[in-house]
Amino acid sequence: MVKKLHVKKGDEVIVIAGADKGKRGRVLAAFPKEEKVIVEGVRVVTHFVRKSAQHPGGGLVKKEAPIHVSNVMLVSEYEARRARRAARTQQTARTNKGFPSLLDNNQPLSILYDPASIFTAGRVVCFISRP
């Protein structure tokens, strides 16, 4: 029995695992039997083509190769997951003392881990400051 894929042709996806992790593209083709998809601009391979009527020059042609469907995620789901994680991080930071003043400005935070604290009772001590 063929499994139903969570993506289909034309969907905007992002690669979440593998050498092309982080790349975005549209699904050009889906192969439910093999559980693979071809994504535009992802896993581009060089393929040799013989001289023929269709390819009079022959030579090397770059084209997309299939990747496993478990390595891609819909962009909408990915963005929702990022938003949930960001909200959870801010909520956790706001409950601790001293953090609200750091989070009021919309600037990136510098998080410095104390390497000596990693070996002390499994606790990690970090210092958060503005650059």
Same domain, 78 and 15: yes
Beta-carbon contacts of residue 23 (< 8 Å; ≥ 6 apart): 14, 15, 39, 41, 42
Does residue 127 carry a pLDDT above 80? no
Same domain, 90 and 104: no
The residue segments making up the domain with residue 105 are 96-131
Does residue 37 carry a pLDDT above 50? yes
For residue range 9-30, list pLDDT tens digits in order: 999 999 999 999 999 999 999 9
Same domain, 117 and 87: no
Does residue 130 carry a pLDDT above 90? no
Same domain, 71 and 113: no
Same domain, 105 and 130: yes
Does residue 113 carry a pLDDT above 80? no
Instruction: Give the separation between CA 62 and CA 69, rounded to whole angstroms.
Output: 21
Give the CATH number for residue 89: 2.30.30.30
pTM over 0.85: no
Instruction: Give the separation between CA 113 and CA 96, rounded to whole angstroms.
Output: 17
For residue range 44-99, list pLDDT tens digits in order: 999 999 999 988 989 999 999 999 999 999 999 999 988 888 877 766 655 554 44
For residue 62, give the amino acid letter.
Answer: K
Give the CB-side neighbour count of residue 76, counting CA atoms within 13 A.
4
How many structural domains does the chain have?
A: 2
pLDDT greater at residue 109 or residue 74: 74
